[in-house]
A and B are shown apart, each in its own frame.
Chain A
Amino acid sequence: MIDDRQEELASLHAFGLLEGAELEQFVAQMRGNPELRRRVAELRAVAAGLAHTAPDAEPPAALKARVLASAASRAAAAPLLRFPAWVPWALAACLAIAVAWTGRQYSDMRAANASLADEKRIAEQALALTRAQLDEAKRLVTESSRQVAELSTKLKDEGDLAHFKIATLASMLGNSPAAVAVAVWDPSRQRGVLSVSKLPPAASQKDYQLWVIDKQYPAPVNAGVFVVDPATDEAHIVFKADKPLGNIAKFAVSLERKGGVPSREGPVVLLSE
Chain B
Amino acid sequence: MSFALPIFQLSFARIGLGSLPLRTRLSARMTGPGDMDSPEDRARVDAALIRRMAGGDRDALAELYDNLSRPLYATARHILNDAAEAQDVVHDVFLSLWENASSFDSGRGAAFSWAVTLTRNRAIDRLRTRSNRARLLGNSIPDDLGYGEEPAEAGGSAKAELGDRAVAVRSALAELPPDQQKALELAFFSGLTQKEIAEKLSEPIGTIKARIRRGLLKLRDALANRL
With a cutoff of 8 Å between Cβ atoms, the chain A residues found around residue B166 in the complex are 52-53
- Taken residue by residue from 231 to 257, chain A's Cβ proximity to chain B (1 for < 8 Å, 0 otherwise) reads as 000000000000000000000000000
Minimum CB–CB distance from A260 to chain B (whole Å) comes to: 138
Whether a CB of chain A sits under 8 angstroms from the CB of B169 is yes
Whether a CB of chain B sits under 8 angstroms from the CB of A90 is no
With a cutoff of 8 Å between Cβ atoms, the chain A residues found around residue B159 in the complex are 56, 58
- Say whether B146 contacts A63, CB under 8 Å: no
Q: B170 contacts which of A53, A71, A83 (Cβ < 8 Å)?
A: A53
Whether a CB of chain A sits under 8 angstroms from the CB of B71 is yes
Minimum CB–CB distance from A94 to chain B (whole Å) comes to: 17
Known: A53-B170, A56-B74. A63 touches B87 (CB 8 A): yes
The complex places the Cα of A49 from the Cα of B110 at a distance, in Å, of: 11
Interface residue total, chain B, C-beta cutoff 8 A: 75
With a cutoff of 8 Å between Cβ atoms, the chain A residues found around residue B113 in the complex are 44-45, 48
- Taken residue by residue from 99 to 130, chain B's Cβ proximity to chain A (1 for < 8 Å, 0 otherwise) reads as 10011110011101100110111001000000
- Say whether A63 contacts B69, CB under 8 Å: yes
Smallest Cβ-Cβ distance to A22: which chain B residue? B194
The complex places the Cα of A54 from the Cα of B71 at a distance, in Å, of: 8
The complex places the Cα of A50 from the Cα of B116 at a distance, in Å, of: 9
Q: A72 contacts which of B58, B149, B184 (Cβ < 8 Å)?
A: B58
The 17 sampled A-B contact pairs (Cβ below 8 Å) are A14-B216, A16-B124, A17-B193, A43-B220, A47-B184, A49-B219, A51-B120, A52-B170, A53-B169, A56-B151, A57-B74, A57-B152, A67-B61, A71-B61, A71-B95, A74-B95, A82-B56
Q: Which residues of B contact A (CB under 8 A)?
A: 26, 54-56, 58, 61-62, 65-66, 69-75, 77-78, 83, 86-87, 90-91, 94-95, 98-99, 102-105, 108-110, 112-113, 116-117, 119-121, 124, 145-147, 149, 151-154, 158-159, 162-163, 165-166, 169-170, 173, 184-185, 187-189, 193-194, 209-210, 212-213, 216-217, 219-220, 223
